[in-house]
Amino acid sequence: MLNILKTHFGFDQFRPLQEEIIGCVMAQKDAFVLMPTGAGKSLCFQLPALKMPGVTLVISPLIALMKDQVDALKADGIPAEFINSTLTRAEIDRIQTQALRGEIKILYAAPERLTIPEFQLFLQKIVVSLIAIDESHCISEWGHDFRPDYRNLKMLRNMFPAVPVMALTATATQKVREDIISQLSLEKAKIFTSSFNRPNLSYAVLPKKNSYDHLINIFREHRDEAAIIYCFSRKDTEHLAADLRQEGFKALPYHAGLESDERRTNQEKFIRDEAQIIVATIAFGMGIDKPDVRLVIHYHLPKSIEGYYQETGRAGRDGLPSRCILFYSAADAIKQQYFIRQIEDEGERKNAYRKLDQMVEYSELATCRRSHLLAYFGENYNQERCDGCDICFSPQEDFDATIVSQKIMSAIIRTGQRFGINYIIDVLVGAKNKKILERDHHELSVYGIVDDFSKEDLRRIVSQLVLKNLIVKNGDEYPILELSPRGQDFLKQREEIRLPKPKSVAKLSQPSDAVETEYARDLFEQLRRLRKELADEQGIPPFVVFGDLALRQMAVYLPQSEENFSRISGVGQEKLKRYGKIFTEVIQTYAQENNLSEKDVPVKRSARPRRSNRLGSTYRETKELVLQKMSIEEMASMRGLAAGTIAAHIEKLLSTGEKIDIDYLRPPVEQFETIKAAFKKSGGTALFPVREMLGEPFSYEELRIARLFIKS
């Protein structure tokens, strides 16, 4: 497998979980793969396809992306094709004939193709050895990107009951995961969950003040680097793209309302490096496989954390440092609420409000954004700071927030605990609001008592008090603020509190470079121009020739021999034969002109695969103690580990299918019901909001263990 990995794909080592997933399908077992964008999901079915007899059938909703993926496979010397509505009848006949002759190893198809009886008949005539369902979250109505055509995929299980199925997705909450598994009958599948952390991405939220000027400065700093800007409406995309063009940037709009030819042309120009910036609605991105996007900017507030995470995931798929910037204002949330009110179905409407509330909470954070994102997907981030978000990059100072917190909470009580955040803030700053005057709230002692904080500052302080469970929000459409029991105690006992100091603009962080930062930038630019020329000649995107990562390595090591050039990441036999001489000649000329020497490209090798138990000895030791029915505290004490680490071990053991009985660890009934209710109220599986809700009596490890019983 390592040999095929290097020969065809040009890589010396597997990324995390790839080897285990490939081993699973080679053993004819189903697999459910949850990996973030850029983690190497495609290789998990592309590589075994080369070892298996017959054809690997890949179902993908991304018609615009299929051609790029097939071009990339062909560039690596792999026989692949796609069948979708963009092809003529003659082209489809030619591809099907090739497949019947055994000349194709990987065949991509759109889900709607499965409803065509002729295509079903064709599939039954060829040897299908593996079925890979990409973007599998599209099958779930609970997801953010449901596609009705995906419900047709059930028939594949009936047509090929003995063929292993691999479902792949980059983003799915627990509810969506369960739905995918149920819809595709993957109950016996081995589940592989990679970390959701994208260490090469940095996250920042900027206030929406002078946002256009700020945007221009960002693009001047990142001139010639690919960027996607997400906007709320079609009009916004067209206006912003036109404004950016006037500033001298190559920017194009993309939205569902454009003529299909214009939409396709604009996407094509972006993929082929002929346009630097795409300004888009969320319609853009699902059909793009461009690995060198360096900036993803949300000019308006996204609808949900899942959508935001997937859209930011389009940055830095090649592993190089990239930025994700969100411009935030409370006005954007109000605009979203207006459209949510138009949703007729009550359950759907409530769900949309909840998701928007979670997005607002993320935008108003004063703690690590990466940690919050990972917690949303049920993953703990154990580092104190990530140094890859605006909060961690320029930590906020604490300030004594006791007085302002008391004023906010007093205003909530004195107005009867029946108003939302905007009304409470208006009372505090002494706004001459008609409704305040009608209710005589201007006569209250709390009216106008805050003059040292702006409305925006007060919003952020209220958000912090909500996160600390001193204030609770109730209701969906117009949530009101109330004091929690903890908040009431805080006021009665005149407790002190320190909160992060509100600040206007956080510094933008730049994640540390995964590749040597000292590379010859002028050579890199020469190689980029050469790559573009070669790509244009062949009618393929430049990244199909070589990615930015490969070009950077060339500009670091200056490889001039065939042997040394072959060690560059992404250089397999086919690319070495096709491009090796052309690129090494340019490198050689540059090295001679600048009196520089070739350096040996280091070869990274995968660690030797472990035998049977891939979890390792530390998990085995914990498993032995669980079998002895020890408590979490006893296990932690015996092993010299934190109780939280033991709880995490147990969770991992169960997720990988280990047969261990943990029923004896179930919390007492009353305690369990309290925890269960808190998880339900939080609307997810993340530990942090539940801990904040329940407070000190409940430890993280108790919540983690309880969550295992709630899931089951």
Note the pLDDT tens digit of each residue in 430-454.
988 888 999 999 999 999 999 888 8
Question: Which positions ≥6 away from 39 have C-beta within 8 Å?
Answer: 15, 16, 170, 194
Measured CA to CA, the distance from residue 276 to residue 229 in angstroms comes to 11
Where in the chain is CATH 1.10.10.1390?
Answer: 617-711
Question: What pLDDT score does 105 carry?
Answer: 95
Measured CA to CA, the distance from residue 131 to residue 140 in angstroms comes to 18
Question: What pLDDT score does 298 carry?
Answer: 96
Measured CA to CA, the distance from residue 552 to residue 568 in angstroms comes to 10
Give yes or no for a contact between 557 and 598, defined as CB atoms under 8 angstroms apart: yes
Q: Residue 207: helix, strand or coil by DSSP?
A: strand
Where in the chain is CATH 1.10.150.80?
Answer: 521-593
Name the stretches of the chain with pLDDT < 70.
64, 142-145, 172, 283-288, 395, 477, 502-517, 604-617, 638-641, 688, 711-712
The reply to whether the predicted model has a pTM over 0.75 is no
Where in the chain is CATH 3.40.50.300?
Answer: 2-193, 201-393
- Show the tokens assigned to 510: 């730049």
Question: What pLDDT score does 625 carry?
Answer: 85
Backbone angles phi, psi at 684, to 5 degrees: -160, -160
Q: At what angle do helices 305-312 and 346-363 cross, to 10 degrees?
A: 60
From residue 185, alpha-carbon distances to 33, 154, 157, 182 in Å are 15, 8, 8, 5
Q: Which CATH number does the domain 399-491 belong to among 2.40.30.10, 1.10.10.60, 1.20.1640.10, 1.10.10.10? A: 1.10.10.10
Where in the chain is CATH 1.10.10.10?
Answer: 399-491
- Show the tokens assigned to 421: 């955040």
Third-level CATH fold of 521-593: DNA polymerase; domain 1 (1.10.150)
Which is it for the CA torsion 686, 689, 691, 693, positive or negative?
A: negative
From residue 195, alpha-carbon distances to 35, 360, 377 in Å are 7, 24, 10
Element (H, E) at 81: strand 80-83
- Show the tokens assigned to 502: 């509100």
∠ CA 380-302-504, nearest 5°, is 80
Half-sphere exposure of 397 (CA within 13 A, CB side): 4
Give yes or no for a contact between 706 and 675, defined as CB atoms under 8 angstroms apart: yes
Question: Which positions ≥6 away from 96 have C-beta within 8 Å?
Answer: 83, 122
Q: What is the CATH number of domain 201-393?
A: 3.40.50.300
- Domain 2-193: which CATH class? alpha beta
From residue 276, alpha-carbon distances to 122, 253, 266, 269, 271 in Å are 42, 11, 11, 9, 9
∠ CA 603-608-609, nearest 5°, is 130
Question: What pLDDT score does 611 carry?
Answer: 35
Q: Residue 166: helix, strand or coil by DSSP?
A: strand
Name the residue among 550, 517, 532, 571 with its Cα closest to residue 224. 532
pLDDT tens by residue, 491-518: 988 899 988 876 645 555 555 544 445 7
Written as one letter, the residue type at 331 is A
Question: What pLDDT score does 452 carry?
Answer: 87
Q: What are the DSSP calls for 12-36, one per residue?
A: SSPPTTHHHHHHHHHTT--EEEE--
Q: Which CATH number does the domain 617-711 belong to among 1.10.10.1390, 3.40.50.1220, 1.10.10.10, 3.40.50.2300? A: 1.10.10.1390
